Chain A
Amino acid sequence: MTLRRLPSLLAASLALGALVFVALPIQSQEAPSEPSEPLPERGVVIEIDSPERSLYKIAVPNLRGANTALGASGAEVLRNDLTLVSLFQVLDARSFLANLEQEGLNITPGPWSAVGAQGVIKGEIRGSGGSLEVEMRLYELARGTTATLTRTYRGGQGELRGFMHQFANEVLRQLTGTAGAFDSRIAFARRAGPGRKDVYIADWDGHDVGRVSDGNGVNMLPSFGPGGIWYSKLTETGMFITHSNAGGRRIIDGDGLNMGPTVCNGRVYFTSTRDGNSEIYSASTSGGDVRRITRHPAIDVSPACGPGGNIAFVSTRHGSPQIFTMSGDGSGVRRVTFRGEHNQTPSWCQRGDQNLLAFTGRSGGMDVFTVNVATGQYTRLTQGQGSNKDPAFSPDCRMVAFASSRGGIFVSNPEGANQNQVIRGAAETLRWR
């Protein structure tokens, strides 16, 4: 990486008759040789080491206001959002040259461009306690000193994080044309002790982790749907499906296991062994009108709703467990993974234009992959970083979360870069909405 600079460095020093300073007391008085020889054109430079080159450089100073700690925590939410989404380089506040006191909510472009900023986010918190007014502004230096995005939020102190996420969504809409999804949440299951599992929900950035299930028995395989978080609960005779607002009622029950709900097309898709073999069924959201979707002597499990109401699922009908897709009525079954011996836990990017499906690939350890169901192209997100499984796309598909043996839920971009831990502690079977 430094080698590519060598020719231009040499050329510059020779052609200009440069004085070369070393940290040694060298006595030398070189007269400029070759006067005014034009600097040679740069050769072809192949950038192999700058994935950060296209990152948008943005400065997010602490929000103004009487409560400086609150202003700092608000800005930190924004900085974290913008860093984790892998589209921004959030500039270090220690480099800032601007006089923030004098500038207020406005900007003077000079000192910001001197630190490399392409955008600046300014904000101010007025009022206190339960009645805050938070004014946020985005400046794009290339477009002058008028804010290109201004939003004012009103609410209690507890809503500040939410305001910051909402503004970050708007910043992405302003800069990319597609809003962010920073006000989203991740649902997951966690082993709570011997023979016990619980379903949890948290802000995607790890804040506000809360238990959804009642804390008894084994609760697993969560998913978002009408009524809140749908999940499966183990009983002595089998497993039933319920959701967070059902008050413990069995929404979908039957012989054997009934598990892994996913809701789309106005129906709940789930795995059941009621007919003796593991098959995929659908039911109304009140639990009635159960229809069998798959009919195959092999194992069919793990339905996942995707764009257009298409269902991804895992089947062993071709031998080893692989990911298949089908329409909501069970027609058009198509195999989409052709690599590895064992692929499981499919999860869609919900943006229909992307055709992306994330899954866990097993070969010795477990790693996270995506496949483009239209082109068949695979992307490997993790490798040699412990065991990584159960991925879920963010609602805007700009990030992928997965459970890692490194100690919790990690978030990366869809290429696996910029991996950061967002939630500590064991986790499995993620869903993100």
Chain B
Amino acid sequence: MGMSSGGGGNGRAPLGEINVTPLVDVMLVLLIIFMVAAPMMSTGVEVDLPQTRAPRMEMDEEKLILSIDAQQRVFLGEEEVPADRLEEALLNNARLQADDEIYVRADQTVPYGFVLRVFATVRQAGIEKLGLVTDPAGGAADVPPSGSE
């Protein structure tokens, strides 16, 4: 390299265009996590969600939900998945491959380390977007199903 730049470093070197390749590379390895306010959850798994004041994002109820209950059992939809089957169940799930997105509802008492291990499995399954479902501050009383305010 340098052959083409020719006339030494005295003059102002032309500014090249921004190289976006590294940016793209970085974006590829990110796991995008965002918080989702729990609407009327249709799943039957009982989970005591953490309460937050984070800005709400409308939840797409069509997306698959992964729940972790207080006993650290993992559910896809409403079906319990044994820990040793979780990775292959996620990896081969055609719906996740199409959606590329999953919502996680973890009980607030579940240890951070356990949740993180599940995140890592989700990431290994190639899912780039992960929504963390929270209970909007104020609890369920604040968010009636009809949403009148």
Contacts and interface: CB of A to CB of B under 8 A. Distances in A.
Contacts of B89: 94-97
Interface stretch (B4-12, B54-62, B138-146): B54-62
B82 to A, nearest CB: 11
B27 interface: yes
A21 B54 contact: no
B73 interface: no
Max chain B C-beta neighbours (<10 A), residue from A10, A92, A95, A116: A95
B94 A111 contact: no
A101 to B, nearest CB: 13
Interface stretch (A31-39, A176-184, A200-208, A237-245): A31-39
A95 B33 contact: no
B24 interface: yes
A21 B119 contact: yes
Interface string B13-45: 000000000001001111111110000000000
A21 B93 contact: no
Interface string A93-122: 011111100000000001101111100000
B64 A114 contact: yes
A12 B34 contact: yes
B32 A13 contact: yes
A360 interface: no
A44 interface: no
Contact residues of B: prevailing secondary structure:
mixed
B13 to A, nearest CB: 29
Interface residues of A, number: 38
A352 B98 CA distance: 37
Contact of B98 (A18, A114, A116): A116
Nearest to A35: B55
Interface in A210-234: none
B50 interface: no
A57 interface: yes
B57 A20 contact: no
A43 to B, nearest CB: 16
Interface string A1-22: 0110110011011001111111
Given A110-B79, A116-B98, A9 B55 contact: no
Contacts of B98: 53, 116
Contacts of A110: 77-79
B88 interface: yes
8 contacts: A9-B30, A20-B32, A21-B31, A32-B54, A92-B94, A114-B64, A114-B76, A114-B93
